[in-house]
Amino acid sequence: MLHTACVVEVENERKYAMKKVFHLCHSSKEEVLFRSHDDYIWGFNCYALALYKTDSCSLADSHMSNHRHYVAQTDAPERMMRINRLAYTRHMNTKYNRKGPLGESEYFCVELDGLFHLLAAISYTLRNALHHGVSPTPFAYPYSSVNIIFQSQLGKSQDSDLLGKRYRHSHIGRNVLLPDSYEMDKSGLILRKNVTAVQQVELLYSTPKSFLYYMNRPSDDNWIEEQKSDNVQLQPITMELIEKGVSLTSPKQMLINEKGRNDYNRISDLKLCEEIDRIIVNQYKVPSVYCLSYSHKQELYHIIKELYKIGEAQARRCLAMDYM
């Protein structure tokens, strides 16, 4: 097994842990997981706190509207995912007057071992928005860890405008313990560098130029051939494997999206949910889409389909029409 040194700063100390690495994915078929920018912040913060509570660290993350990918180094993947999911579900249920579990009852988990298996899983996670046609490049998508890798070498700005510690609990919960060494930006997001083994990921890619190559590399059989050289008894990491159970985009469409050929002017799930929650739902005098009757949801379904020229699946998940 490949042991990757995980460096995480916890309470002013840098701890090195030799742990297994897993790719994990949790999805939601019936409704979106994130309805606002603030939800994405809470989603990552719940992941960051779950990492902290299980003495784990992240190698990559990507939060999409109806699923989330993680490459994490941990001795307790099941406990880490349970803590993460429960905390975020509590946020959604409280904010939107919602009840019950959020997303699928099961999650996808596969152990990673070997340099090229790791590179394939991390690269796919960081390119997830590109594959789903949400962003024309991995770097344009704000809800993943792609922009903290080789940050200074690629000329990207460092985090400087930070939130004071006295205000942090409004973004994680009042009774949640957060290490003093963790920092938040002004939006309330725990800085990804606090929980991500950035140096180790950079060592895997070797150079900024190599990293850029992987972020733009076409998906083909060469990825599988490379993984064979790892000489490990694990199945190769492929798009079909990692996206198992995610219904947002077909593998065929992902390959098209990978070339940056998509209509990026169409309304995203995030923008559509914001329009529903901020404008349309207010007309029915209810606090959230989860408080709408099914007949009112049907009315809105036809309105937004015509207004925004969207498909059935997008309209249904953003209206949570199949939520019971």
The boundaries of the domain holding residue 280 are 269-318
Q: Does the pLDDT of residue 147 top 50, yes or no?
A: yes
One domain, residues 213 and 94:
yes
pLDDT in tens, 255-266: 888 888 788 889
- Residue 151 covered by a domain: yes
Q: Does the pLDDT of residue 160 top 80, yes or no?
A: no
- Residue 91 covered by a domain: yes
CATH of the domain at 100: 3.30.70.1290
The pLDDT score that the predictor gives to residue 259 is 86
Name the percent of the chain lying above pLDDT 70.
93
User: Binning pLDDT at 50, 70 and 90, where does residue 172 land?
Assistant: confident
Residue 308: left (phi > 0), alpha (psi -120 to 50), or beta? alpha
The pLDDT score that the predictor gives to residue 239 is 86
- Residue 323 covered by a domain: no
One domain, residues 242 and 285:
no
pLDDT in tens, 57-90: 999 999 999 999 999 999 999 999 999 999 999 9
More confident residue, 187 or 251: 187
Residues 6+ apart with CB under 8 A from 94: none
One domain, residues 232 and 294:
no
User: Binning pLDDT at 50, 70 and 90, where does residue 247 land?
Assistant: low
The Cα 62–Cα 68 span in angstroms is: 6
The Cα 150–Cα 201 span in angstroms is: 9
50 and 81 in contact (C-beta within 8 Å)?
A: yes
Q: What angle do CA 231, 236, 237 make, to 5 degrees?
A: 130
Q: Does the pLDDT of residue 44 top 60, yes or no?
A: yes
300 and 286 in contact (C-beta within 8 Å)?
A: no
The Cα 249–Cα 252 span in angstroms is: 8
For residue 306, how many other CB atoms are within 10 A of its CB?
Answer: 9
Q: Which helix (H) or strand (E) holds 215?
A: helix 208-216
- Beta bridge partners, 63, equal 68
- Residue 264 covered by a domain: no
Task: Calculate mean pLDDT across residues 188-207.
Answer: 96
- Residue 324 covered by a domain: no
In the Cβ-directed half-sphere of 299, how many Cα atoms lie within 13 Å? 10
User: Binning pLDDT at 50, 70 and 90, where does residue 289 land?
Assistant: very high
Q: Does the pLDDT of residue 107 top 60, yes or no?
A: yes
Question: What's the number of domains the chain is made of?
Answer: 2
Torsion of CA 109, 123, 147, 19, to 10 degrees: 50
Q: What are phi and psi of 202, to 5 degrees?
A: -65, -35
pLDDT in tens, 230-239: 999 899 999 8
